[in-house]
Structure 1
Amino acid sequence: MRVWFITGASRGFGVLMTKEALAAGDAVVATARNPEAVVSAVGDHPNLLSVALDVTDEAQARQAAGAAVDRFGRIDILVNNAGYGLLGAVEEAGAEEIERMYATNVFGLLKVTRAVLPQMRKQRSGHVLNISSIGGYTGYPGWGVYCSTKFAVEGLSESLAIELEPFGINVTVVEPGFFRTDFLADNSLAISPATIPDYVGTPAGNMRDFAAAANHAQPGNPAKFAAGMLALVNSAKPPLRMPFGSDTVAVLETKNAHVAKELDEWRTLALSTDFEKETVSPH
């Protein structure tokens, strides 16, 4: 029986992953600001421990990790799932809402990860799964601040994978595309209240209308995502980067091709900034 530790487990992907793991015979420490909401969504289960956790509170993160070990003796899988979106042009976003988003999406992920890693290092095993986004691999107009938090998650994950490999701990950054959850609803999405008229009719301004129309019409099936996450942790050699959804796969392929083409066009200038190689004359 593996032990999962899932943040943001009271709704959306968190609830579905919790149910999938329990159905597979695993134990789940399901954390949320309101732990009663987890039990309400999932139901009572002998292998479920619902724990209060605001990921922005480092002391509470350590307490939650301690409660997990006290109850089940170990933590095998950490899923950093808690987070939310912010819609609006970069220039429209206020300092307070930007800092609030980073506090959850980036600093909260770090606090929880630091709380769990001592146990995984002690075990010399574990799997850290950081939920990024299609917007963690490429930037979108109207999502610049949100994308920047997910780009941070991607960089942290790549470094962590190298740092934790000696301890037998795997790291995977998970990149879901647009799935039919409540992510675009007001309980998961903040919208910058400030609007700058110049952005109306531009890609950033139009994204506000697109997001409203796309809510609950996204192509991704959340239940299939949860099943995919179980398949991912069952792998003997999990990947560093795991895209989910046809839209994410298309974005990765398009960006990779663009980066390769651009590098080819600018290769000469890119290579021109090194010191000249010194030549050693024969004696």
Structure 2
Amino acid sequence: MSDQKVWLITGCSSGFGHEIALAALNQGDIVVATARDPRKLSDLAAKGAVVEQLDVTASDASLAETVKSITSKTNGRIDILVNNAGYVLSGGVEECSRDEVKAVFETNFFGQLNVIRAVLPVMREQRGGVVANLGSIAGWYGMAGAGLYCASKACAAMVSESLGAEVAHLGIKVVCIEPGYFRTNFLAGGHRLRAQNAIEELREAIDAANGALDAYNHNQPGDPVKGAKLIVDALTSRGSCKGFELPPRLLIGTDAYGMAMGSMDSHKANMELWKDLITATDHDA
């Protein structure tokens, strides 16, 4: 196809990474599917994906070598980067240890930055590309029992907006994709880790939140196949998204739309309530 794209996707062993890879392959694009354990990508390889080992927490030098290996197989191009790798740290803000917090940010946030630093030189040289950082509806509000995960996803949104302003003149677009709850294994063991510490006085709020997530597991409203198709269309300006300008933050899912609108309405109401006090702090002159 004349507009064939080259994709680099992290965290392809399951969930949205896996579905996005399939959707891009179905469009006839070249897909470089990556995971810490590439043996988990055999089905994508069988469908034509280029499979590479990639750990988003690796050193800059290691990631630069990985990208060099990838571009040697893609005629030097990476058109679309999807920073998908991530997991949920479940636990109260006080309950999460220093090491647990470091670990979730190393993957969810610093991991995205690591891959961005490795890939952007390729996109700058080719004067074009799309960087898609996976955020979450959790980046719109702080949820009891998942505050550190929410914080990592809010960081993804802010960095995406800043980076987008820095590279727009080079023909590079940046978006934070913010899915709601989709029926993947993301809330299951291995993708959702619980803090080792438990504080009895916090149980009332945190257990209720964790119970809601447990009940939601495998009952989420979103269809990951449909979500992945929309993401691929949006990042390529094809199909359903032809003619649409990619926004800085792209919500995916009916629940995400409703939660984000509710969050904005709540913040707006509070700002209006406090408006007179907020705006009375300027110099008199």
TM-score by length of 1: 0.94
State how far apart, in whole Å, the 1-side matches of 2:32 and 2:220 are.
29
Partner of 2:281, secondary structure, is coil
Percent identity of equivalent pairs: 39
Matched, 1:223 2:231: no
Q: Tell me the residue number matched to 1:192.
A: 195
Partner of 1:251, secondary structure, is helix
Whether the 8 Å CA contact 1:84–1:101 is kept in 2: the answer is yes
State how far apart, in whole Å, the 1-side matches of 2:275 and 2:139 are.
25
State how far apart, in whole Å, the 1-side matches of 2:248 and 2:117 are.
19
Q: Tell me the residue number matched to 1:258.
A: 266
Q: CA-to-partner distance for each residue in 1:66-113, whole Å, 9 max, x for gaps?
A: 122111120000000000001111111111110011111111100000
Which aligned pairs between 1:67-216 and structure 2 lie closer than 5 A? 67-72=69-74, 73-202=76-205, 204-216=206-218
Whether the 8 Å CA contact 1:10–1:41 is kept in 2: the answer is no
Q: CA-to-partner distance for each residue in 1:24-54, whole Å, 9 max, x for gaps?
A: 110011111011211x2324244x2111111
Q: Tell me the residue number matched to 1:7.
A: 10
Partner of 2:52, secondary structure, is strand
Partner of 2:125, secondary structure, is helix
Matched, 1:275 2:276: no
Q: Tell me the residue number matched to 1:281.
A: none
Partner of 1:190, secondary structure, is strand
Shift of 1:137: 1.3
Whether the 8 Å CA contact 2:23–2:229 is kept in 1: the answer is yes
Stretches of structure 2 lacking an aligned partner (at least 5 in a row): 238-242
* Paired amino acid for 2:249: R
* Paired amino acid for 1:215: N
Q: Tell me the residue number matched to 1:280.
A: none
* Paired amino acid for 1:175: E
Between structure 1 and structure 2, the one with the greater Rg is: 1
Whether the 8 Å CA contact 1:177–1:244 is kept in 2: the answer is yes
* Paired amino acid for 2:115: V
Q: CA-to-partner distance for each residue in 1:118-156, whole Å, 9 max, x for gaps?
A: 010111100010100010111111110100101111110
Deviates more, 1:264-273 or 1:148-157: 264-273
Of residues 236, 250, 259, the one that matches 1:242 is 250
Whether the 8 Å CA contact 1:89–1:205 is kept in 2: the answer is no
Partner of 2:109, secondary structure, is helix
State how far apart, in whole Å, the 1-side matches of 2:111 and 2:212 are.
29
Stretches of structure 1 lacking an aligned partner (at least 5 in a row): 278-283
Whether the 8 Å CA contact 2:33–2:44 is kept in 1: the answer is no
Whether the 8 Å CA contact 1:88–1:205 is kept in 2: the answer is no
TM-score by length of 2: 0.93
State how far apart, in whole Å, the 1-side matches of 2:73 and 2:138 are.
36
Q: Which runs of 4+ in 1 moved over 3 A?
A: none
Q: Tell me the residue number matched to 1:233.
A: 235
- Count of residues in correspondence between the two structures: 274
